[in-house]
Amino acid sequence: MAQLSVKTVESKPPLKRPTNKFTIFMKQIDLQLMVLPALALIILFSYVPMYGIMIAFQDYKVGNSFSSSPWVGFKHFAYFFNSPDFALVMKNTIIISLLKFCIGFPAPIILALMLNEVRRMRFKRIVQTVTYLPHFMSWVIIGGLVGSILATDNGSINMLLQKLNLINEPINFLSVPEYFKTILVSTNIWKEIGFGSIVYLAAIAGVDPSSYEAASIDGASRFKQIYLITLPSIMPVVSIFMILAIGNLLSAGFEDILVLAPNPALRDVSDVIDTYVIRVGVNNYRYSYATAVGLFKAVVSVGLLTMANVVAKRSGNSLW
């Protein structure tokens, strides 16, 4: 049953359909017109600016026009692949995004499942509000907050640990490369977990209550119900979000890393593609180079997205 309710979204209505495409279009003209603004938005702000990609193959200088810049082929790509930073940047990007994916992706699902079991509505609402509030704070604020909490001189965490006699000397949390990824990933989860769980809570709310009743009559425990009813029911939503998350694997983060790793000593563990682009490319006015690196990332991302979609297709929950 639960399967059914979700399936209806995708399954085609068993009506006699007109074969003429134009007739179909005209029949849905009201719906189609509503899509138009969204299409216009995407074309204007996502496709039209793409012509700027050509500067990745040029030596573009500020003040020149795109048409007057000399073409240099794959020079900037070659520079990036041969740069001593390439291996390090790619390594960090992949490690950080895999960590964020493996821990950060299931976290909101688990929170949603847990919240769903809470019977006291008041408590549930409070938890939801508290967990999704940080989402609305900008990274700059979070960076300042984390920076002062974890500081060595007068940082609250260090003071607490010292008062509890757990440590003698304050720990320099923000300067030890080994701690950086933990801080980054946990800050990310703290910030986004509540907001991420909203989608899953909505999906769970759509599950037919009669399946739970049937299951409990059959003697299924709460855990069994979660495992056998709730999870399979929200699986389509989960897999769509997973495909999108895989498409974003090369976006290991940007603002979060900029604000949490101001210390250049951390660069060996914190430098990812996006921070590299801004530091080496944009801030040094090497627009062509920045574009080339960004384009490389986009191409790989599209590849990953397609791959994930192919895999998901087998389970019938693909994006397209």
Q: Which residues bind another protein (CB under 8 A)?
A: 29-30, 33-34, 36-37, 39-41, 44, 61-65, 84-85, 140, 144, 147-148, 151-154, 169-170, 172, 174-175, 262-268, 279-280, 282-286
- Pick between residue 15 and residue 36 the one whose CB is nearest to another protein: 36
Q: Which is nearer to another protein, 85 or 208 (CB)?
A: 85
User: Shortest Cβ distance from residue 142 to another protein (Å)?
Assistant: 14
What whole-number distance in Å separates Cα of residue 296 and Cα of residue 114?
Answer: 40
Shortest approach of another protein to residue 72 CB, angstroms? Answer: 13
The least distance separating another protein from the CB of residue 317, rounded to whole angstroms, comes to 30
Q: Which is nearer to another protein, 43 or 299 (CB)?
A: 43
Supply the Cα-derived Rg of the chain in whole angstroms.
25
Nearer to another protein, 145 or 201 (CB): 145
Minimum separation from the CB atom of position 153 to another protein (A): 5
275 touches 257 (CB < 8 A): yes
Minimal distance, residue 252 CB to another protein, in Å? 19
Shortest distance, position 208 Cβ to another protein, whole Å: 30
In the bound state with another protein, the residue whose beta carbon lies nearer, of 1 and 53, is 53
Q: Smaller CB distance to another protein: residue 73 or 219? A: 73
| Contact of 286 with 58, CB cutoff 8 Å | no
